[in-house]
Structure 1
Amino acid sequence: MSHVLSDEAVANAMEEIKNNLSSRRPDDDNILSHIHKVSTPPKQSLFQDIKHNFNETFFSDDPFGKFKNQTGSRRFVLGLQTVFPIFEWGRYYNLKSFKGDLIAGLTIASLCIPQDIAYANLANLEPHYGLYTSFVAPLVYAFMGSSRDIAIGPVAVVSLLLGTLLTDEIPNFKSHEYLRLVFTATFFAGITQMALGLLRLGFLIDFLSHAAIVGFMGGAAITIALQQLKGLLGIKQFTKKTDIISVMRSVFSAAHHSWNWETIVIGVAFLAFLLATKYIAKKKKNLFWVAAISPMICVIVSTFCVYITRADKKGVAIVKHIRNGVNPSSVNEIYFSGKYLSAGIRIGVISGMVALTEAVAIGRTFAAMKDYSIDGNREMVALGTMNVIGSMTSCYVATGSFSRSAVNYMAGCKTAVSNIVMSIVLLLTLLVITPLFKYTPNAVLASIIITAVMSLIDIKAAILLWKVDKFDFLACMGAFFGVIFQSVEIGLLIAVAISFAKILLQVTRPRTAVLGKLPGTTVYRNILQYPKASQIPGMLIIRVDSAIYFSNSNYIKDRILKWLVDEEIQRTSSEFPSIQYLVVEMSPVTDIDTSGIHAFEDLLKSLEKRDIQLLLANPGPIVIEKLHASMLSGLIGEDKIFLTVGDAVATFGPKGADL
């Protein structure tokens, strides 16, 4: 064997084993004096156990701790600050912070206006609904959100998802029923987000892995970009499907009769300009504002050119009329009954979860960059409230936008006041400026969307996934190809399915490792990771790297027995002493259930038939408590449960093996 003691040590060990291998040496004070017994934690009542587990699951951050030992008035103030964080940080707000927020708010407003008009088109809505959303939603979030950097509004992925799911229910997106279903889906998206926050179930969104999100976002970006070929090429008749095959077939079938060269010139020219400004901003960080204001410049210049040349009469599609004025009420438009209620709930839950995942990811990213923390559950309540109010004020689903948040961060925002500034600019736009967008060509809006979604394709992240974890890369590619070859919802379903499959695989097939002793130490490590680690004559030490539940208990038992058989064959062929003791290192085992207990009972019976004794090392408090409760500790033997592997080796191994 490669992981064994030297020949001289083996000879000495074999001699010792012949003399006293199976008997304990209680008289050897030098060896046993340092050995401690594994202690059992104090017994908790059923109520205490349930309370502890409940608090750890839902209130591990102790959100109510600050209310303890406070007066009634102080509790009211703290409660108000909890619901509206602006009352907490607003006390320290100053002119210097406002200057940063003012510049950032104006900058992201110049970016969001053309984006809102374009994203509304993705959701098959009139342009003013995108502007409505960027007026109300950021205003609500500024009072309730805990992120300083996130910029709120419609986003491409959620807009496309809504447009796709809603047209499956109501193909005629110009009908009033379609608009009502939009508000219904937005309402239930907000309810879903609020419920997750209030019930402190935010951990559910963590089941959608980072790898799945990378693939989903990349696929959605390509799908969105391909959808914009309709506006970029001036195609009149275009497929309603989103998969790449249907889109490209529609593009090439229209090549001979529907492409408009004036539209192509406008679209390609401004697309090149947007890409150039984005490249400049990437190379020189201090010129980030160039890329931020370039969409508005494109809109202004292209609108002016189309107006003076009347290119719209030559086949160039334009936005036409955008309704001005503030948001009308849409409370009575929401379906609370009827045949579209179930569709509204389903679409709302899906879009709400996707929007929530994107917002939380963006918020955490920028919070880490500025070294502050955000409350995930508070964020969910804020986003949910924002969308519920939005559904009643003619808005559709809003969330955090990565491109706007990046610009907001680079522009030097200090607090959520930048969202308030942006909202005020959108209000002025709705009241005064919207008629000026009448001649804005759709090709420019398509160029703006294509440029915006390019940042969602993260090739570096995909390469890193390949290097680090092939299963993560598979999840990424599954979500990616699911989106581009089927649909956004199928890609999302594949992403969730693969994420759950990974969790199930890790739970049902945990790792086990054979341990050896590092030379000159009392440390035991995986012999595959540390080739110089040598095994102990007459003993096999195995570490289980997972909690032991019904889903994996039989696998762990079978895996241990397989290790045992393989090691016995190798030791026999190398004339190494046969195995007399099996040591299971249990420090990674955080919990064990009744199936795990039964698996250990079966393991014990199998070992008895082989005349091998079972030793346990370092079981945790929950595990040792359950071992005692099930009487398994008595079957194994109280004197065969040790604090460390070293203690087990010192007691039952060859003399001097752990010195």
Structure 2
Amino acid sequence: MGHSVPDRVENEELDVPSLRSSHGQMENLQSVHKVGFPPQRNFFREFKDTLKETLFADDPLRRYKDQPRSRKLILGLQFLFPILEWGRDYNFSKLKGDLIAGLTIASLCIPQDIAYAKLANMDPQYGLYCSFVPPLIYAVMGSSRDIAIGPVAVVSLLLGTLIQNEVDPVTEKAEYIRLAFTATFFAGITQAALGFLRLGFLIEFLSHAAIVGFMGGAAITIALQQLKGFLGIRNFTKNSDIISVMKSVRSSAHHGWNWQTILIGSTFLAFLLFAKYIGKKKKSLFWVPAIAPLISVILSTLFVDITHAENHGVQIVRHIDKGINPSSVNKIHFTGSYAAKGFRIGLVAAMVALTEAVAIGRTFAAMKEYQLDGNKEMVALGTMNVIGSMTSCYVATGSFSRSAVNYMAGCQTAVSNMIMSAVVLLTLELITPLFKYTPNAILASIIISAVIGLIDYEAAYLIWKVDKLDFVACMGAFFGVVFVSVEIGLLVAVSISLAKILLQVTRPRTALLGNLPSTMIYRNIEQYPEATKVPGVLIVRVDSAIYFTNSNYVKERILRWLGDEEEQLKAKQLPRIEFLIVEMSPVTDIDTSGIHAFEELHKSLQKRSIQLVLANPGPVVIDKLRLAEFTELIGHDKIFLTVGEAVMTCAQMAREDA
């Protein structure tokens, strides 16, 4: 590659006279540097470098270079199973932290798992299954020290909504569960494939703003769905949009609500919210909101058992299968129409689960200052869900609430997930019969209190202040989820994010530059009102790569700048424009359409007796301009390192012509 163009002249004040209204009074610099041309590269070498930077920017194979075969095998195993690497330094001090964290998140996950299984329209034990096998797999293969694995509210609701559109969870319960396992299998395959093929960048198409809106909408939708259990309604709509839910609630108001259920739900919801408030007020009391759900389940179950409230219309869990995860390999559809449906549902669930897990992992990795390999995470999460689908689990991922508790409890490694898994194992083997009298109202209260944290008002307000287009994406995703459905909200989020990218690509920003007095610095005249235009010279900056999508717009925008400037000069009877300088430092790339647009721009300028000058083109751009012979068309003497040098030379040429 050619040497990079220095920015010293552009970024430092120079001891030169102020620019005046005449070219002839401008001082020369002692030397003018010419733009360097990078050495020509072989096509295959260029393709290889581009592919490597796109898919292997982190160069995962660098550690294998110059290593003996036995060492390569060990390093390869450590790459696939990070536990082999960090496990060598594991000690009792770390175990102490992981033990406390594991027990803490287990107390939180057990009631949440039972509740989230209901969101997915599955029996309670399936939620517990998801916190037994998947965390063990992740602990061996994952690279995050802080993520707590299990079912989460958004993915549970998403699966429940998508699958019930295909199979009724009540009348076709067995087929519904089979489709859930099939979707989980294909979700795992998708996640693992993205990691193996190094395609993790695809999840970046869900912007932060879209995720904020989607999560907020999903939180409201989830909370509304809990009104069935919270109010004791038996006949409830299967639709998730707010209008259908509110109609169902209103229609059942006269005969479908149960005051005992409402009393239980309201009391413990208040308790859970108060516990959350205490945890936020004093960080050292993080364990209070962590154990509050389990305490709520125990107390409410005892209350129902003693008072026999189930005989007065209070709906209870009734039965949770005892024992560890049964095999479900023979329940997965590998072929046929249900396999296709499972693949489609699994693909959507995989992307949402990945987005949540990677975001959580990166957040806590940054807090603890260690690196997280996104592609390795995807392989771990994918493998976890593939194995999970074969052991009666539905899609599991990283939970933000549990991961936050895990972090606050002092977890050191992924062993905390193993501790949690061991507690869930004991629960499945010994304790599940005790949940028989757990009221559905308490599960609804646990879910409502958990999802409230997904509504990020502060982030939405910040998005509104910073970027209005981002806010449109945020609100589009939010209203799509709330008023239509979860999948439509997700589609709206992706569509608006892509539309924003297309808008920015097809309509890049351009700016007129002026000179800051007493310097050789040229900046946007809108940002710096004190910057003055150079007489006889129009300086335009293009703030984007120039491709077929925007090349024609860039050409026409520059000509509009030129036309407007000429009209103003003519009205004021000032000297005409003789030079058009295009500042190209922000132009990272250009394609043949872009070059063709510059050729047309050059022809248009020639008809007006205006010379085209380029300033600071990057190595990729100047190489392509040379190969297209555009540099010969305008002349090598019309290409400069900086705008300052270009203006100085144009002034000399104008003086010589005069």
In structure 2, what is the equivalent of residue 35 of structure 1?
Answer: 32
Distance 1:589 1:12, change over 3 A: closer
Q: Does 1:336 align with 2:338?
A: no
Distance 1:72 1:653, change over 3 A: same
Distance in 1, Cα, partners of 2:567 & 2:100: 73
Please give the root-mean-square deviation of Cα atoms over the aligned residues, in Å: 1.5
SS at match of 1:180: helix
Correspondent of 1:499 among 484, 497, 500 = 497
Is the contact between residue 219 and residue 452 of structure 2 (CA under 8 Å) also seen in structure 1? yes
In structure 1, what is the equivalent of residue 66 of structure 2?
Answer: 69
Distance in 2, Cα, partners of 1:391 & 1:295: 27
In structure 2, what is the equivalent of residue 136 of structure 1?
Answer: 133
Q: Once the 2 structures are TM-superposed, how far is the Cα of residue 598 of structure 1 from its aligned partner?
A: 0.6
In structure 2, what is the equivalent of residue 297 of structure 1?
Answer: 295
Amino acid at match of 1:162: L
In structure 2, what is the equivalent of residue 445 of structure 1?
Answer: 443
Distance in 2, Cα, partners of 1:405 & 1:300: 23
Correspondent of 2:22 among 13, 18, 21 = 13
In structure 2, what is the equivalent of residue 424 of structure 1?
Answer: 422
Distance 1:9 1:59, change over 3 A: closer
In structure 1, what is the equivalent of residue 6 of structure 2?
Answer: none
Tell me the percent identity.
70
Distance in 1, Cα, partners of 2:524 & 2:405: 48
Between stretches 549-558 and 512-521, larger displacement belongs to 512-521
Distance in 2, Cα, partners of 1:227 & 1:187: 26
Is the contact between residue 115 and residue 443 of structure 2 (CA under 8 Å) also seen in structure 1? yes
Is the contact between residue 107 and residue 407 of structure 1 (CA under 8 Å) also seen in structure 2? yes
In structure 1, what is the equivalent of residue 55 of structure 2?
Answer: 58
Distance in 2, Cα, partners of 1:210 & 1:520: 42
In structure 2, what is the equivalent of residue 106 of structure 1?
Answer: 103
Correspondent of 1:158 among 142, 155, 159 = 155
SS at match of 1:466: helix
Across the two proteins, how many residue pairs are aligned to each other? Answer: 638
Distance 1:633 1:329, change over 3 A: same
Amino acid at match of 2:78: Q
Correspondent of 1:92 among 85, 89, 108 = 89
Q: Once the 2 structures are TM-superposed, how far is the Cα of residue 175 of structure 1 from its aligned partner?
A: 2.0
Q: Once the 2 structures are TM-superposed, how far is the Cα of residue 298 of structure 1 from its aligned partner?
A: 0.2
Distance 1:132 1:379, change over 3 A: same
Q: How does 1:401-550 map to 2 (within 5 A)?
A: 401-550=399-548
Q: Once the 2 structures are TM-superposed, how far is the Cα of residue 574 of structure 1 from its aligned partner?
A: 3.2
**Cα deviations by residue, 1:349-397 (Å, 9 ceiling, x for unpaired):** 0001100000001111111111111000000000000000000000000
In structure 2, what is the equivalent of residue 640 of structure 1?
Answer: 638
Q: Does 1:567 align with 2:565?
A: yes
Q: How does 1:204-215 map to 2 (within 5 A)?
A: 204-215=202-213
Amino acid at match of 1:592: I
In structure 1, what is the equivalent of residue 179 of structure 2?
Answer: 181
Q: Once the 2 structures are TM-superposed, how far is the Cα of residue 571 of structure 1 from its aligned partner?
A: 2.3
**Cα deviations by residue, 1:520-571 (Å, 9 ceiling, x for unpaired):** 2111111110111111111011111000000000000000001111111222
Amino acid at match of 1:593: D
Is the contact between residue 650 and residue 656 of structure 1 (CA under 8 Å) also seen in structure 2? no
Q: Once the 2 structures are TM-superposed, how far is the Cα of residue 12 of structure 1 from its aligned partner?
A: 5.8
SS at match of 2:130: helix
Distance in 1, Cα, partners of 2:268 & 2:173: 33
TM-score by length of 2: 0.95
SS at match of 2:155: helix
Amino acid at match of 1:13: S
Is the contact between residue 232 and residue 263 of structure 1 (CA under 8 Å) also seen in structure 2? yes
Q: Does 1:590 align with 2:599?
A: no
Q: Does 1:44 align with 2:53?
A: no
Is the contact between residue 319 and residue 442 of structure 1 (CA under 8 Å) also seen in structure 2? yes
Distance in 2, Cα, partners of 1:304 & 1:574: 89
Distance 1:601 1:655, change over 3 A: closer
**Cα deviations by residue, 1:143-185 (Å, 9 ceiling, x for unpaired):** 1111111100000000000000000000244521111100000
Distance in 2, Cα, partners of 1:626 & 1:322: 67
Amino acid at match of 2:493: A
In structure 2, what is the equivalent of residue 374 of structure 1?
Answer: 372
Distance in 2, Cα, partners of 1:65 & 1:176: 49
Distance 1:261 1:582, change over 3 A: same
Distance 1:473 1:415, change over 3 A: same
In structure 2, what is the equivalent of residue 23 of structure 1?
Answer: none
In structure 1, what is the equivalent of residue 14 of structure 2?
Answer: none
Is the contact between residue 116 and residue 154 of structure 1 (CA under 8 Å) also seen in structure 2? yes
Distance 1:480 1:309, change over 3 A: same
Between stretches 565-574 and 526-535, larger displacement belongs to 565-574
Q: Once the 2 structures are TM-superposed, how far is the Cα of residue 656 of structure 1 from its aligned partner?
A: 12
In structure 2, what is the equivalent of residue 3 of structure 1?
Answer: none
Amino acid at match of 2:50: N
TM-score by length of 1: 0.95
Correspondent of 1:117 among 114, 119, 122 = 114
Q: Once the 2 structures are TM-superposed, how far is the Cα of residue 338 of structure 1 from its aligned partner?
A: 2.1
Correspondent of 1:234 among 207, 232, 235 = 232
In structure 1, what is the equivalent of residue 198 of structure 2?
Answer: 200
In structure 1, what is the equivalent of residue 350 of structure 2?
Answer: 352
Amino acid at match of 1:237: N
Q: Once the 2 structures are TM-superposed, how far is the Cα of residue 339 of structure 1 from its aligned partner?
A: 2.1
Is the contact between residue 536 and residue 653 of structure 1 (CA under 8 Å) also seen in structure 2? no
Distance 1:652 1:323, change over 3 A: same
Distance in 2, Cα, partners of 1:611 & 1:640: 15
Q: Once the 2 structures are TM-superposed, how far is the Cα of residue 654 of structure 1 from its aligned partner?
A: 5.7
SS at match of 1:169: coil
Is the contact between residue 460 and residue 471 of structure 2 (CA under 8 Å) also seen in structure 1? yes
Q: Structure 2: any 5+ residue segments left out of the alignment? A: 1-16
In structure 1, what is the equivalent of residue 217 of structure 2?
Answer: 219
In structure 1, what is the equivalent of residue 144 of structure 2?
Answer: 147
In structure 2, what is the equivalent of residue 277 of structure 1?
Answer: 275
Distance in 1, Cα, partners of 2:208 & 2:333: 34
Distance in 1, Cα, partners of 2:21 & 2:218: 67
Q: Once the 2 structures are TM-superposed, how far is the Cα of residue 90 of structure 1 from its aligned partner?
A: 1.1
Distance in 1, Cα, partners of 2:30 & 2:589: 30
Distance in 1, Cα, partners of 2:21 & 2:458: 55
Between stretches 496-505 and 91-100, larger displacement belongs to 91-100
Is the contact between residue 207 and residue 499 of structure 1 (CA under 8 Å) also seen in structure 2? yes
SS at match of 2:28: helix
Distance in 2, Cα, partners of 1:398 & 1:415: 19
Distance in 1, Cα, partners of 2:292 & 2:31: 72
SS at match of 2:582: strand
**Cα deviations by residue, 1:113-163 (Å, 9 ceiling, x for unpaired):** 000000000000000000001000111001111111110000000000000
Distance in 1, Cα, partners of 2:100 & 2:569: 73
Q: Does 1:650 align with 2:648?
A: yes
**Cα deviations by residue, 1:77-123 (Å, 9 ceiling, x for unpaired):** 11011001111111111111111110000000000000000000000
Is the contact between residue 318 and residue 438 of structure 1 (CA under 8 Å) also seen in structure 2? yes
Amino acid at match of 1:617: A
Is the contact between residue 13 and residue 655 of structure 1 (CA under 8 Å) also seen in structure 2? no
